[in-house]
Amino acid sequence: MSETLTTPVVSVVVPVRNEAGNIAPLVAEIQAACAPNGPFEVVYVDDGSSDATPAVLADLRAARPWLRQVRHARSCGQSAAVRSGVRAARGSIVVTIDGDGQNDPAYIPRLVEALVAGGPGTGLAAGQRLGRKDTGFKKLQSRIANKVRSFVLKDGTRDTGCGLKAIRRDVYLALPYFDALHRFMPALVRREGYAVALVDVVDRPRLTGVSNYGFFDRLWVGILDLAGVWWLIRRRRSVPEATEIT
């Protein structure tokens, strides 16, 4: 791909907060994964960082016209950062990826291929992590949460917490927005009448730094929002097939 502002096929959205040490290596990996497959852009959303994240992004953008920077004046959370990135994106397909390096960008083409192969009726290709690199306690939390979520929502996936997802931009923008939306996307995409493709991806340790999310944040968000998503699904009886008469 030439280093020009060509309209991108794929927009990669990366939400970050205080991830200065992880930005440069991850940007290089995303470029290596995306450049052979056509025009792309990378939209970093700085969710009110207090470290050198803004400066690092500004330096990298000087030589990379496909790298964009969106900044929240204050931290609003990961779902809000993803939404800001999707709204700013110019590609019709958006790939989300965590900014800590645990998601391997090498899987981006595979996710996009799965989404495209499914045709217009497939709205989302979601990564499912193998070989989790978290602590034993965090893995236990996730295992329990995923089993409860799967039982309640019947969303057909064992892992909705993986940051690697490819989604049609218009489908994402049609979803009901709330904090922690990113944790329930398969269920909500199915609620809109679209199929979901699942792609196994291998997890890896974060590159540097520590997680910005705590146990009790995830616990209470999970309980309250699981109930809310269950209610939304129950209230959507059918998806209308609308045709304009000319």
Closest to 100 (Cα-Cα) out of 210, 218, 215, 200 = 210
DSSP 10-67: EEEEEEESS-HHHHHHHHHHHHHHHGGGS-EEEEEEEES--SSHHHHHHHHHTT-TTE
**pTM, two decimal places:** 0.83
H-helix segments, the chain: 20-34, 53-61, 78-88, 108-117, 136-153, 169-174, 185-191, 215-235
Which segments in the chain show pLDDT lower than 50?
1-4, 213-217
The full set of domains in the chain, from first to last, is 10-235 (3.90.550.10)
Q: How confident is the model at residue 132, as a pLDDT? A: 60
The pLDDT assigned to 246 comes to 80
User: Is the dihedral angle over the CA atoms 174, 176, 179, 184 positive or is it negative?
Assistant: negative
Question: What is the spatial distance between Cα 144 and Cα 80, in angstroms, rounded to a whole number?
Answer: 25
Exposed/middle/buried for 101, CB within 10 Å: 0-12, 13-18, 19+? buried
Cβ neighbours around 123 below 10 Å, total: 26
CA distance 16 to 34: 20
Q: How high is the pLDDT of residue 240?
A: 65
